[in-house]
């Protein structure tokens, strides 16, 4: 049996998405900027996708800027936002467990003269509010927080943090990395106090190379891709019509029967955690409230990510042993595999030092089945005791 449980890294595109993209490449292949029928056809596909995504957020179509993915969206939001606000102040607040596509731009800005404060989180991955209150100054111009952590699945109360920030800094820009949250949670940027929000198509069974940045109407963002004036001069360059059309379809499908789909995913996550704790009693599930009943604790996290530490094992060895059995998981963020290091997220939530290199991420999607969960748990029950014998000294 093949069990793909690395959906936080990327998802398999749905057949409906593939069909939309194939049609766009075969038939609606014009340049959206061309003033003839083929151009109009392509432009219509892009604008329909923009409208479909805006609808899922109860936003305006013009508030959706298409990008090449979450990384570009985060860079545009942070660097563009910082330069937009540079005359008002040069202080940025983020958290200590952000994705590299947020951390690296903030570090770039720090080297360019901005001050950056990284807020601590607790063992459940919740940002400490008192630290935010203390960090805010008259020079603070951006607050950047992820809605769902990509490694442990904790949900950050973005609306609460935005409210706290604006009480002291009314003009602050609130940026949210929603790359792991979009499609999994109901998100209303306007109600949540979000000014800028990043998302990626390939996390919701759409195509790679597609993303968007929500930019609240009224914000004049400084662009860093200039040239042809596309997308209202915010991101020049010929639009990737098939990718954006595919993303639009994936977004539309993700939020159709959304409650049932996410309910099913929560059920799979709860089943996995309950069964893996039986099969491997010494394992530790991270960022889950151990005091509350499992069903309640799981529902306070994202539906698709489970982080589990297996004492006495090495994550890399476990990963390849599972792969040999047809099970695909990860040891953390897929992007961090280009720069291997012990997870900053696990350190931030207080995972024991000896478990940092013994942790795997299991992540679920629309194609995950109960049979996959059961098979994975069965294999873990066999592998972990065997691999624990070879623990490094």
**Which residues form the catalytic set?**
335
Distance CA 358, CA 377 (A): 17
Beta-carbon count within 10 A of 79 CB: 17
What is the C-alpha to C-alpha distance for residues 368 and 270, in angstroms, rounded to an integer?
13
> Do 73 and 209 contact (CB within 8 A), yes or no?
no
Of 199, 208, 69, 84, residue with least CA distance to 142: 84
Task: Identify which of 300, 216, 209, 215 has the alpha carbon closest to the alpha carbon of residue 250.
Answer: 209
CA 332, CA 335: separation in Å to the nearest integer? 9
User: What's the CA gap between 205 and 367, in Å, rounded?
Assistant: 10
Contact 210, 200 (CB under 8 A): yes
- Euclidean distance between CA atoms 29 and 34, whole angstroms: 11
Query: For 289, phi and psi rounded to 5 degrees?
Result: -70, 110
d(CA 151, CA 319): 15
Torsion, CA 186, CA 187, CA 188, CA 189, rounded to 10? 180
Q: Two tokens at 173? A: 């820009």
Question: Residue for token digits 């042809």?
Answer: 228
Secondary element (H or E) of residue 23: helix 15-26
Q: How many Cβ atoms sit within 10 Å of the Cβ of residue 329? A: 23
Q: Are strands 64-67 and 211-215 parallel, antiparallel or unpaired?
A: antiparallel
């Amino acid at each position: 049996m093949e069990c793909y449980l690395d959906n936080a890294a990327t998802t398999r595109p749905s057949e409906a998405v593939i069909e939309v993209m194939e049609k766009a490449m075969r038939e609606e292949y014009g340049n959206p900027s061309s003033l003839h029928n083929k151009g109009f056809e392509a432009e219509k596909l892009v604008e329909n996708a923009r409208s479909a995504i805006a609808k899922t957020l109860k936003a305006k179509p013009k508030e959706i800027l298409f990008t090449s993915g979450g990384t570009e969206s985060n860079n545009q939001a942070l660097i563009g936002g910082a330069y937009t606000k540079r005359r008002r102040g040069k202080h940025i607040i983020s958290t200590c467990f952000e994705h590299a596509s947020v951390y690296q731009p903030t570090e770039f800005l720090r080297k360019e003269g901005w001050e950056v404060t990284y807020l601590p989180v607790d063992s459940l991955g919740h940002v400490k509010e008192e630290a935010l209150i203390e960090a805010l100054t008259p020079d603070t111009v951006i607050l950047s927080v992820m809605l769902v952590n990509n490694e442990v699945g904790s949900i950050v109360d973005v609306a609460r943090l935005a409210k706290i920030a604006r009480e002291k800094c009314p003009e602050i820009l609130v940026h949210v990395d929603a790359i792991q949250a979009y499609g999994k949670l109901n998100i209303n940027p306007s109600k949540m106090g979000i000014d800028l929000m990043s998302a990626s198509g390939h996390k919701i069974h759409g195509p790679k190379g597609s993303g968007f940045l929500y930019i609240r109407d009224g914000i004049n963002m400084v662009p860093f891709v200039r040239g042809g004036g596309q997308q209202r001069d915010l991101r020049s360059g010929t639009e990737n019509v098939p990718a954006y059309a595919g993303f639009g379809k994936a977004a539309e499908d993700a939020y159709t029967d959304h409650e049932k789909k996410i309910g099913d995913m929560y059920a799979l996550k709860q089943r996995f955690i309950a069964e893996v704790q039986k099969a491997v009693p010494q394992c530790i599930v991270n960022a889950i409230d151990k005091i509350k009943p499992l069903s309640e604790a799981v529902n306070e996290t994202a539906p698709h990510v489970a982080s589990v530490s297996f004492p006495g094992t090495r994550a890399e060895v476990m990963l390849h042993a599972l792969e040999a059995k047809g099970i695909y998981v990860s040891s953390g963020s897929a992007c961090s595999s280009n720069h291997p290091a012990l997870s900053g997220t696990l350190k931030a939530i207080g995972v024991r030092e000896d478990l940092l290199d013994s942790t795997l991420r299991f992540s679920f999607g629309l194609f995950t089945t109960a049979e996959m969960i059961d098979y994975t748990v069965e294999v873990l029950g066999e592998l972990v005791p065997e691999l624990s014998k070879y623990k490094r000294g």
